[in-house]
Amino acid sequence: MPLPVHSTVREDIDSLQQPTLDPPTPEAWQELRALGHRMLDDIFDDLATLREQPAWRPMPEASATALSLPLPIQGRPAEEVYRTLMKHLVPYTIGNRHPRAWGWVRGTGTPLAMLADMLASGLNAHVAGGRQAPVVIEETCLRWLAELMGMPSQSSGLLTTGATMANLISLAIARNAKAGYDIRQQGLQHCAHPQLLVYGSTETHSWALKAVELLGLGRDGYRRIPVTELHQPDLDRLELQIEEDREAGHRPAVVIANCGTVNTGAIDNLPAIAALCRKHDLWFHVDGAFGALLRLTKEYAGLVRGIEEADSLAFDLHKWVYLPFEIGCVLVRDSQLHTAAFATQASYLEEAEGGIMAGGLPFADRGVELTRGFRALKLWMSLQVHGIDTYAHLIAQNMAQAAHLESLIEASPRLELLAPRPTNVVCFRYTRPGLDDVALDALNRRLVIELQESGRYIVSSTVLDGRYALRVAITNHRSQMSDFTALAEDCVRFGDQLTS
């Protein structure tokens, strides 16, 4: 029988003012609730009218000033603060929600997932583990994602802030698994051990540089293999390099394969890299930040064949699953190696036989962070409501849009493709006879700015074989075919104006 609770303090202590951050009276709750409803109405109005708004607009100095306030020692009414935000914040974000936003590789978000995030924030669950429903939801999401990617059902995984973190976690597991000694105990300071090497291609995303630096492998421990004209690593060069490195007494450890390069959307020959890794006993890691999601489609799953053989696979859900930031995923074939890289013990975090801590903190044991939010909810709810078929359709739709843009570029004497288009990334430039590469670089650099500042399109840029390219990466569920027809026409129109 529970013991009665005896107050050791005087009963009248509650009559003293003890402020909290909750509204202090029923009326104040009512006021905050009304503000909440208004905020929801405002953001729905904003989302429902995105197409009528500019894709991007520069922030006026007055708005920057209005937000750069002195440290607020005294508070002020929420209503008043919200008015400032509506005026000076809401119109001036980076524009990635817009139907004509295709810069870098940024997702758009969805109204439904926004609601899920609101619910998750209201619950404010701490999702390191413990006996609670959010853990079941995240484990369920990971099981679904492993199934979608063709990874074994006993694979381990973690939802992360994004692909950078998912890739970093993967590389840490790979490094430890292939080091040949207890790297967690000894670290990397023992010169007696051979140098551990990581292989990527010259097209591998810059996260890999951060990762090799942070993991103590250093840039010298990272071999970037040159690519062919398809922007895939030259696999003969890769194998030769591995063999030479081994002969030189080093320890080749990991190959990073690209499933959708950031520059051009190229997909490496995954089955061949998988086979190479097995042959040379290397860890096969796949960075599938957006490309991995092609596996959801019937039409394009063949492009990513081999992904299911990965020892570890990183991908984003805030790109080609269109969820609001931040959410990515890492899947790891060998669950023991996964936890072996991160699990720690501390008396204050001990697993218990019962109560909240029964089952321990599985998610804290699979990554860097202890405190983690409930990002799984927006994924779980979105997949439940929309269904995988809808996502497969939207991804295929983005691929068809990329093909449409490519055909418009090929048909135009004023536009030129600068790279093959295997997936959803189209790289091209405005061109006209008589202009050399230097002049075209300057012109196209200006064109990107003109397109952005017109408020009509968000495209970004890259440099391919020394030539400046406009870059359109389509991970947008709001885009329509006609948006790309308009883009091709406006590129020619703006380009003509810039050269006239």
Ligand X SMILES: Cc1ncc(COP(=O)(O)O)c(C=O)c1O
Contact between 205 and ligand X (CB under 6 A)? yes
CB of 358 to ligand X, least distance (A): 33
Q: Which is nearer to ligand X, 135 or 376 (CB)?
A: 376
Q: Which of residues 263-292 bind ligand X (CB under 6 A)?
A: 287, 289
Determine which residue in the list 174, 212, 262, 364 makes contact with ligand X, applying CB under 6 A.
262
Determine which residue in the list 109, 252, 306, 328 makes contact with ligand X, applying CB under 6 A.
328
CB of 209 to ligand X, least distance (A): 12
- CA separation for the pair 22, 271 (Å, rounded): 56
- CA separation for the pair 367, 314 (Å, rounded): 13
CB of 473 to ligand X, least distance (A): 8
Q: Which of 294, 22, 321 is nearest to 162 (CA)?
A: 321
Query: Near ligand X by CB under 6 A, which window of 94-102, 157-165, 176-184, 462-470?
Result: 157-165
Contact between 448 and ligand X (CB under 6 A)? no
Place of tokens 């909440």: 36
Q: Which is nearer to ligand X, 135 or 327 (CB)?
A: 327
Contact between 169 and ligand X (CB under 6 A)? no
- CA separation for the pair 444, 468 (Å, rounded): 7
Query: Near ligand X by CB under 6 A, which window of 107-115, 159-167, 406-414, 461-469?
Result: 159-167
CB of 315 to ligand X, least distance (A): 9
Q: Which is nearer to ligand X, 238 or 293 (CB)?
A: 293
Query: Near ligand X by CB under 6 A, which window of 140-148, 158-166, 187-195, 425-433?
Result: 158-166
Determine which residue in the list 162, 221, 373, 495 makes contact with ligand X, applying CB under 6 A.
162
For 353-407, the DSSP string reads SSSTTBT--TTGGGSS-SS---THHHHHHHHHHH-HHHHHHHHHHHHHHHHHHHH
Q: Whose CB is nearest to ligand X?
A: 162
Question: Would residue 148 be called left, alpha or beta, if left means φ above 0 and alpha means ψ between -120 and 50 degrees?
Answer: alpha
- CA separation for the pair 181, 80 (Å, rounded): 59
Q: Which of 247, 291, 243 is nearest to 267 (CA)?
A: 291
For 298-320, the DSSP string reads TTTGGGGTTGGG-SEEEEESSST
CB of 316 to ligand X, least distance (A): 5
Contact between 163 and ligand X (CB under 6 A)? yes
Contact between 316 and ligand X (CB under 6 A)? yes
Contact between 373 and ligand X (CB under 6 A)? no
| CA distances, 481 to each of 101, 322, 397, 404, 412 (Å) | 13, 18, 9, 7, 17
Q: Which of residues 86-125 bind ligand X (CB under 6 A)?
A: 105
Q: How crowded is the C-beta side of 211, counted as CA atoms within 13 Å?
A: 26
Determine which residue in the list 56, 102, 207, 284 makes contact with ligand X, applying CB under 6 A.
207
Contact between 293 and ligand X (CB under 6 A)? no
Query: Near ligand X by CB under 6 A, which window of 156-164, 335-343, 366-374, 425-433?
Result: 156-164
Residue 364 identity: A
Q: Which of 89, 141, 83 is nearest to 321 (CA)?
A: 141
Query: Near ligand X by CB under 6 A, which window of 77-85, 128-136, 162-170, 384-392?
Result: 162-170
Residue 414 identity: R
For ligand X, the binding residues (CB under 6 A) are 105, 162-164, 205, 207, 260, 262, 287, 289, 316, 328
